[in-house]
């Protein structure tokens, strides 16, 4: 047992530094807590600035955030912030509902939300 404990880290890394921040940034904007980068620097273990910038760029690409200066939620972003899933999959479901192909989009979103069983 001693050999395993010597190989383990004393503490694990905080989750905020290990995961994608897209959903968290949407929640920050939905609650109107200010710019995401500013707010996330005040947390106990802040995520790397590159991760915050990547999340903001990803949300702009999806269409959930407006321009770089305003950094406001778009109408699509407000809907995506209310869904408990990745913003890209949320956009897939919203558009599937609009175009009347929700059943197919649900199947695609369900398969994309899990890791590959073949690895």
Radius of gyration (C-alpha) of the chain in whole angstroms = 18
Give the model confidence (pLDDT) of 12-33 as tens digits.
888 888 888 999 999 999 999 9
Q: What is the pTM of this model?
A: 0.82
pLDDT at 1: 54
In whole angstroms, what is the distance from residue 60 CA to residue 72 CA? 10
Q: Which two tokens stand for residue 25?
A: 């940034």
pLDDT at 86: 92
């Amino acid at each position: 047992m001693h050999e395993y404990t010597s190989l383990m880290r004393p503490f694990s890394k905080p989750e905020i530094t290990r995961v994608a921040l897209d959903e968290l940034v949407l929640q920050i904007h939905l609650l109107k807590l200010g710019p995401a980068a500013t707010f996330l620097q005040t947390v106990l273990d802040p995520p790397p600035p590159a991760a915050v910038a990547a999340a903001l760029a990803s949300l702009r690409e999806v269409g959930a955030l407006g321009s770089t200066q305003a950094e406001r939620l778009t109408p699509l972003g407000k809907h995506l912030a209310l869904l408990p899933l990745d913003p890209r999959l949320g956009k897939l479901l919203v558009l599937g509902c609009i175009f009347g192909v929700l059943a197919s989009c649900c199947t695609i979103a369900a398969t994309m939300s899990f890791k590959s069983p073949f690895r």
